[in-house]
Structures are given as structure tokens and as C-alpha cells.
Structure 1
Amino acid sequence: MNFNKHLNFEGAHSFLSASQHSWLNYDDAKLINRYSTVQAAQLGTRIHALAAEHISLKIKMPNDNKTFNQYVNDAIGYRMSPEVVLFYSPNAFGTADSISFRDNFLRIHDLKTGVTRVSMDQLEIYAALFCLEYDIKPNKIGMELRIYQKNDILVNEPEPDRIFHIMDKIVRFDKLIEEMKEADD
């Protein structure tokens, strides 16, 4: 048999994918909710790309209390770099929405476009990854972490001990993962 060619879809997964078959257990309401969640995530990705472009080009937004505008303007004002990968190992890395480090002060900002409850854990992990990658002791620098969501800004100045704890956990877990990988070979 000559199978139809669908070159545009090779390597892609559909929403009703066979490999992610949990949708078989959905009712109509659950499907609608899940589809809306996926669409919101895709919109969030596009909004982050737009914010990164504005920051890179230093295009300020109107001064108002809108989340996107505050985030972009603050990142430009603090001379931050958008979408920076912080790397410890192939097992432990992440992309900070915007980051700067100058005069021994680390600043990390995160733009949240969804409505789910947020946590500073993600930004504290970025701070730990930064310290590991650049061999900086958290108790030797100042830090401010910000989350921008729902026209509000959450600000955290993490305790150095908290960042040291996360760094230790990253190093320990990375080592365990590598040991498991070696055992699999």
C-alpha cells in the first residue's frame, strides 16, 4: 500500500495524540478545559517572545499598571538581558525571563501570563543555577527576584542560606542522575 504523505505533520503530535492518550478519559468539559489551558500556554510563549523583543530593542511600553508593560519597562530600566539560559549540567538548567548582574547584585524577573498560583521557588532555582554556573557565593552578593502577574509585582530578597540549599540539592541530584545513567550503560 502507498501511504499518504503528511510531511507538514512528521514529528509533530496532535492534541488528540495516540501517544498522549489520557484524553480518552475526558468528558466534554475536561476536553474544553485542557484545550483552553494548552492555548493559554501557547499564547504565553508568544507573549514572552514579544517581551524579549521589546527588551532587546529597548522599546518601552506605556507607564501603567499592566503586567506586560511593567515587566518590559522594568527590564529595560534595570538593563536586563531577556531569555538567558542558566546552565549547570544537561540535567540542571533553565531559562530566566530576564536577568542582570552588576555591582554584585543579581536581579531576576519572571513574567507570568497565566492565572495559576505562583511560587518564588522557580526564581530561587534560577539564582542557584546562576551562582553555580558563575561560581558566585550567594552570601557575597545582593539579590532581588520578581514575579510579574495579574498587574502585580511580587518581590523577594532570598536568604543566601536558601540559595545555598538549592545549590547543594542541584549538585547532589545531578550526581545521582549521572550515577543512574552510568548504571544504565
Structure 2
Amino acid sequence: MQWRFNQHPNLAGLHATFSPSQSSWLRYDDDKILEVYANKKAAERGTRLHAWAKETIDLGIKQPRSNKTLYAYVNDAIGFRMETEVVLFYSPHYFGTADAISFRDGVLRIHDLKTGKVGKIETHLEQLEVYAALFCLEYDIKPSAIEMELRVYKLDEVVRHCPLAEDIETIMEIIVHGDKLLTENERKEG
């Protein structure tokens, strides 16, 4: 007689927080288990907040004037007539999705919403610089020919950053080099 496995269609394609494929949790103490679980819940909340912000921006529903991260992000994106969740593509190896972006009158704006409490602002700004580099590569625009304002919305603060063209050009060179290296390697592997 054939064994009949239980069916779990609601779990298809999902991964448990503590799955066999990432078994390092076998060595976690109680505090680490609780920390990992809290981080997963925070990530899920962040995903839901991003979806709400996208829908609110796309519908043009202004929020009360406030310094609260979410309201400031939504209102600024609406005010600057930005598009949400835009994929910036250079190659299958190098692409990403900008939370909110606009390019108008020679000014590139990229805004990023951070809903968690961890992570350094410098790292977030570097992420936005990579988006700017991807934009310039995809649309064949020289960073020196445009103005850029990148913003991180986090912990009821808005951090504004206007990167130097040279910094974006350096990131572009790294992307182009890395993509060429990976493409050649894939060809060799056949």
C-alpha cells in the first residue's frame, strides 16, 4: 500500500522561520529564538506597510501632515508625483525595486521607506546610490548630467542625500564589471 502524505496547500512555496534548510537554529538559545521570530514578524509588518504606502500613493490619498515616517513618505511621494515599486534593471544579475522614484526636469528622486529599527543610515544611503546607478545604466544617463536627491524615511526622520556624480559612476563601473565577469563565467560553464 502506498503511503499517503498529509497535504498542506496553504504552505506551498513558503519557508518556515525555523526550516530544515537553514538549520543553524538548532544551536539558538531562547533569546535568539525570540529575536529571530521578532525579526520575521517585523519584516512581515514592513511588507504590509510598504503595500499600504504603495496603494495610498498610487491613489493619491494624502495623509495628515506629520513627522511620522509613514505619513511623511506617502505625502512626499504624492507631492513629487513619484511612481512606486519601480524595477530598475541592468541585467539579470543587477536589478532592484525602488520604493518611490521620479525623474523630471533633470532631477532624479529616489525615496526609500524603512519600517524597522535596525540598520545604519549609511547602508541605506548606499542602497539608494545603487538604485541611482541602476537608473543611469538602464536609461543611459550620465550622473554628471543630472541632479539627484535620495531620501531615507526612518524612525520619524527624513535623511536627504545628494550624491556626487563620481560616486554613482564608480558604482556603475562596479556593476558593469561584475556583470561582465558573471556573464563570461556563465559562458565558460556552458
Length-normalised TM-score, structure 1: 0.97
In structure 2, runs of 5+ residues without a counterpart are none
1:168 is displaced (CA, Å) by 0.5
For residues 104-123 of structure 1, the aligned pairs below 5 Å read 104-116=106-118, 117-118=120-121, 119=123, 120-123=125-128
Whether the 8 Å CA contact 2:143–2:165 is kept in 1: the answer is: yes
Q: Which of 127, 145, 148 is the aligned partner of 1:143?
A: 148
1:125 is displaced (CA, Å) by 0.2
How many angstroms apart in 2 are the aligned matches of 1:78 and 1:122? 21
Structure 2 residue 161 is matched with structure 1 residue 156: yes
After superposition, the CA RMSD in angstroms is 0.9
Q: Among the aligned pairs, what percent are the same residue?
A: 55
How many angstroms apart in 1 are the aligned matches of 2:67 and 2:181? 45
For residues 45-124 of structure 1, the aligned pairs below 5 Å read 45-116=47-118, 117-118=120-121, 119=123, 120-124=125-129
Count of paired positions: 185
In structure 1, runs of 5+ residues without a counterpart are none
Name the structure 1 match of 2:136.
131
Give secondary structure in 1 for the equivalent of 2:188.
helix
Give secondary structure in 2 for the equivalent of 1:19.
helix
How many angstroms apart in 1 are the aligned matches of 2:8 and 2:64? 45
1:57 is displaced (CA, Å) by 0.3
CA offsets, 1:104-125, max 9 Å, x none?
A: 1100000010112222100000
1:160 is displaced (CA, Å) by 0.2
1:178 is displaced (CA, Å) by 1.1
